[in-house]
Structure 1
Amino acid sequence: MLVLSCLPDAPWLPPGGRADVVVHDPDDPVPSPLGLVRLLVTDSDGRIFCRARTGDRPGWDLPTAPVPDGGRQTAVEKLTTAVFGQVTATELVGYVRNTVPAGTRYEWPAPVAHFAVYRVLDHAVPVLDGTWLDDDAAAEHLGERHWWPLIAVGHDKGSSCRHSATQG
């Protein structure tokens, strides 16, 4: 397991919570439980496809879906079908692991919940409305998101981040 970053007392978590950004090693099992899956969709120019965020949080996000009781594979297949009109091949880049103190009131599984980023393996064309962000725009609009460190891994298949990250 390769931990890119660790944020004790992450501001989006209950007090005492910690968020770790973890690169997935293909030899490791997929983490469980998963709360959300996100798709990193890039085009041949390296731009990232984003959708408008919903609710009271304006801005852009990667296409995202909750993981129901049907499991992660079902969630990924439904999300790729919604984005591309068909099931599309993906690979798990990594995830954010949120850990909260036992007994904490938290909207996701506790004490540990995972939020995964899957990279689409080809340059499929989305059938949904959205926008393509180049590297600078993506950094500006997405750079504060807790999963952002995984973007470099998904873009470069890990070559740039693996050298500076710590083993965990």
Structure 2
Amino acid sequence: MLLIDPPAWPAHGRLWSHLVSDTSVEELHAFATRVGIPRRGFEGDHYDVPEERYAAVVAAGALPVEGRELLQRLRDSGLRIAKRKHERVLQSTSHASWLPRGGRADVIASRQENAPPNTVVVRLAVTGPSGLLVRRRPDGDLDLPSSPVGSATVEAALADLVVSTVGAAGRQAPSLIGYVRNVVREPDDHYPWPTPFACFAVHALPSSGREVLTVGEWVALRDSAGELGDRHWWPVVALHLGLISVDAAHD
């Protein structure tokens, strides 16, 4: 069912409602398309609807409810996607094929200072005149330089990753640009990460190109989508580099 709360949320000089589905994201997208709500209004588990569109959305079939009921029904449906301030959900894949049954993968862009709780892996998006730095995994695929957090703190794991990637010459501190979050409530015997949440944080680090890189190779930005577009973290990096828009990340 489609639900909408009253326009009571101020932003950009106007009031906004939240439009959700307690059935599926697919139902939500289909309804939004039918009533002409642009995809840029999608925030991972809801659409933002301006006050002047509220009556038309209700007339089209959305059930008006109070905000508290809307949030509770969204939570009960399992479709609620938590995020922090200054974060935006770029993609969310329900029943992700690479996760145990019922698992969901959220891709979130972030301007927070710190990685989210339950971060288990840190990745480094090093960019320079030659493009984006990558490493070749044992299976032959390309990936960002990465390191498990293990028993260390996220900060310590990230600092070690910077040194092992660009050496002590990495003078600029890396900044968080987003993360992939696995949501797995029923793990199988082969799933290695904590449950229900495991986060894989991506930090950006500009390079002058003068550092002595110990490992890795450069992928030109013009080739990066073809080489790396199937990586789960790709929307975060592509958005950071200006290679895609928020609308494209949602598609």
TM tier, shorter chain? 0.7 to 0.9
Alignment partner of 1:119 out of 204, 215, 218? 204
Q: Partner of 1:85: helix, strand, or coil?
A: helix
Q: Partner of 2:238: helix, strand, or coil?
A: helix
Count of matched residue pairs: 160
Q: What is the alpha-carbon root mean square deviation over aligned residues?
A: 2.2
In structure 2, the partner of 1:99 is 183
**Cα displacement string for residues 18-68 of structure 1 (whole angstroms, at most 9, x for unaligned residues):** 0000011327x53111111111011135x11111112xx222111010012
TM-score (norm 2): 0.58
Task: Name the CA shift for 1:9/1:123 in 2 (closer, same or farther; >3 Å).
Answer: farther
Alignment partner of 2:157 out of 75, 95, 101? 75
Alignment partner of 1:39 out of 100, 104, 124? 124
In structure 2, the partner of 1:143 is 229
Separation of aligned partners in 2, 1:165 and 1:141:
17
Deviation at 1:129, TM superposition (A): 2.9
Kept in 1, the 8 Å contact 2:167–2:213? The answer is yes
Deviation at 1:126, TM superposition (A): 4.7
Structure 1: which 5+ runs fail to align?
Answer: none
Alignment partner of 2:94 out of 1, 4, 8? 8
Task: Name the CA shift for 1:160/1:141 in 2 (closer, same or farther; >3 Å).
Answer: closer
1:124-135 map, 5 Å: 125-135=211-221
Name the % identity.
Answer: 35
User: Which 10-residue stretch deviates more, 114-123 or 128-137?
Assistant: 128-137
Instruction: Give the aligned residue type for 1:23.
Output: A
Task: Name the CA shift for 1:63/1:12 in 2 (closer, same or farther; >3 Å).
Answer: same
Alignment partner of 2:148 out of 42, 66, 80? 66
Q: Partner of 1:20: helix, strand, or coil?
A: strand
Kept in 1, the 8 Å contact 2:165–2:214? The answer is yes
Larger radius of gyration: 2
**Cα displacement string for residues 55-108 of structure 1 (whole angstroms, at most 9, x for unaligned residues):** xx2221110100122210001000001011125410000000100124654211
TM-score (norm 1): 0.84
Separation of aligned partners in 1, 2:166 and 2:177:
19
Kept in 2, the 8 Å contact 1:40–1:48? The answer is yes
Q: Partner of 1:81: helix, strand, or coil?
A: helix
Alignment partner of 1:25 out of 94, 111, 135? 111
Task: Name the CA shift for 1:122/1:136 in 2 (closer, same or farther; >3 Å).
Answer: closer
User: Which 10-residue stretch deviates more, 99-108 or 34-43?
Assistant: 99-108
Kept in 2, the 8 Å contact 1:93–1:153? The answer is no
Deviation at 1:122, TM superposition (A): 4.1
Instruction: Give the aligned residue type for 1:50.
Output: V
Structure 2: which 5+ runs fail to align?
Answer: 1-86
Kept in 2, the 8 Å contact 1:40–1:154? The answer is no
